[in-house]
């Protein structure tokens, strides 16, 4: 497909002071502003100035991350931006469909159609915060998530698009025959409905998914409209792209209904030498002892006394089938060890840059070349941009990489529409559910 008919999609992954774990130690960053809304707003407005499709907030329910809750933050951002999409991570395992459906419908209304939902099943460390003794098994979580999303979609569809009348002459605010119970009864959820807010402007907020395991790929092929994924090479990205796109037909979907956005985490400067200096400075700030401890826990072996400059071995490491968390990221690390014969120091530094996503150090022109190569050779529909330093990394990307992509005819020069779906080139889903019966209760 020629560039004339196919445009890059770009999302900015918001992440504190940057995606490099040591970015907070740089003199130019402001870790003390992690809860400062105006600081986050400046970053998001930079992304909007660069005409990016969306910004994305990751989230979890455990740990000491010290960050704002995404719905609260994105609702505030919606009031101070006009075009950019607003994507929040919300897990299925530790939530209820009704709450999630209502919150995303509210965000979509507040933003006038710019909301997106990154669907995850959650991490094991959250279980004890929700009165559970253990995290559900991996495949079971995806079965539950599949049903969870179906309930949410039915709740969004419980209001027909023209159900709200507000007809003062007749005294009718809501047409009762166009608001429906869903009476859902499944293996995991029982929900009567209807939702207590009108159908979202986009029909459904854009559905995003980030899992790359076998269960995650199949779930994405059935449900997702955007995938955030991690790959260390164009070959790996091409294989993933081909595999997931090939699964769509069984669900009656076409390849253009799913956008695949690998993560790319750059360090940019006017010269390669300057970019390398920034990279080396970041590496010096890495807490090697803490990183090795975390890597030991992930791999299931003690690396505390392992020589830093000795290539790692896969002997005795935890295999992916034995992992009940993020299987795809675990396998990516095993592949790095096997395929590139990395030393412990090299692996620690590689993961410090973006936790397994593709890292890049060089000039804006060189990065544009990489993006173009992946985009034109079946590896990506766009990218999840993950600057290793915020806000400067995004500013350089917007000011120097975006114009180059525009010059090559690969990226927009103005937003195409008003909603996130418009700008991603995704159709608004029709409401074809629950026409059979009206809600009997009065909806005044």
Measured in degrees and rounded to the nearest 5, phi and psi for residue 204 equal -125, 140
Q: Report CA-CA distances (Å) from 384 to 19, 282, 332.
A: 12, 21, 17
Binding-site members for FMN are 59, 89, 138, 142, 212-213
Binding-site members are 59, 89, 138, 142, 212-213
Half-sphere exposure of 432 (CA within 13 A, CB side): 3
């Amino acid at each position: 497909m020629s560039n004339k008919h196919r445009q890059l999609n770009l999302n900015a992954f918001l992440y504190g002071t940057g995606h490099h774990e040591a970015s907070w130690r740089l003199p130019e960053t402001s870790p003390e502003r992690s809860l400062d809304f105006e600081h986050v707003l400046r970053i998001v407005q930079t992304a909007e100035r660069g005409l990016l499709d969306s910004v994305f907030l990751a989230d979890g329910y455990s740990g000491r991350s010290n960050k704002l809750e995404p719905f609260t933050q994105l609702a505030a951002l919606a009031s101070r931006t006009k075009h950019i999409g607003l994507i929040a991570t919300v897990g299925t395992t530790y939530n209820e469909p009704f709450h999630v459906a209502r919150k995303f419908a509210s965000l979509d209304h507040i933003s006038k159609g710019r909301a997106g939902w990154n669907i995850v099943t959650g991490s094991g460390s959250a279980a004890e915060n929700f009165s559970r003794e253990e995290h559900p098994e991996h495949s079971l979580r995806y079965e539950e998530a599949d049903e969870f999303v179906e309930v949410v979609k039915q709740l969004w569809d419980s209001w027909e698009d023209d159900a709200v009348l507000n007809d003062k002459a007749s005294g009718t605010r809501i047409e009762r025959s166009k608001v429906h119970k869903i009476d859902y009864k499944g293996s995991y959820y029982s929900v009567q409905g209807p939702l207590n807010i009108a159908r979202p402007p986009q029909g459904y907020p854009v559905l995003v998914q980030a899992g790359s395991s076998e269960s995650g790929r199949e779930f994405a092929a059935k449900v997702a409209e955007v995938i955030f994924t991690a790959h260390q090479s164009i070959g790996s990205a091409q294989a993933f792209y081909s595999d997931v796109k090939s699964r769509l037909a069984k669900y009656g979907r076409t390849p253009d209904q799913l956008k695949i956005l690998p993560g790319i985490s750059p360090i940019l400067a006017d010269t390669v030498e300057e970019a390398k200096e920034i990279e080396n400075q970041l590496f010096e700030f890495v807490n090697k002892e803490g990183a090795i401890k975390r890597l030991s826990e992930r791999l299931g072996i003690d690396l505390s006394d392992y020589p830093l400059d000795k290539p790692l071995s896969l002997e005795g490491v935890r295999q992916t089938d034995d992992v009940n968390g993020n299987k795809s990221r675990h396998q990516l690390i095993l592949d790095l060890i096997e395929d590139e014969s990395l030393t412990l120091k090299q692996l620690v530094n590689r993961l410090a840059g973006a936790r397994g996503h593709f890292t890049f150090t060089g000039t804006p022109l060189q990065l544009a070349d990489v993006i173009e190569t992946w985009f034109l050779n079946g590896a990506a529909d766009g990218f999840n941009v993950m600057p290793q330093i915020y806000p400067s990394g995004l500013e350089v990307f917007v000011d120097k990489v975006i114009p180059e992509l525009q010059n090559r005819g690969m990226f927009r020069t103005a937003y195409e529409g008003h909603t996130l779906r418009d700008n991603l080139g995704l159709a608004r889903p029709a409401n074809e559910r629950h026409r059979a019966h009206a809600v009997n209760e009065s909806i005044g």
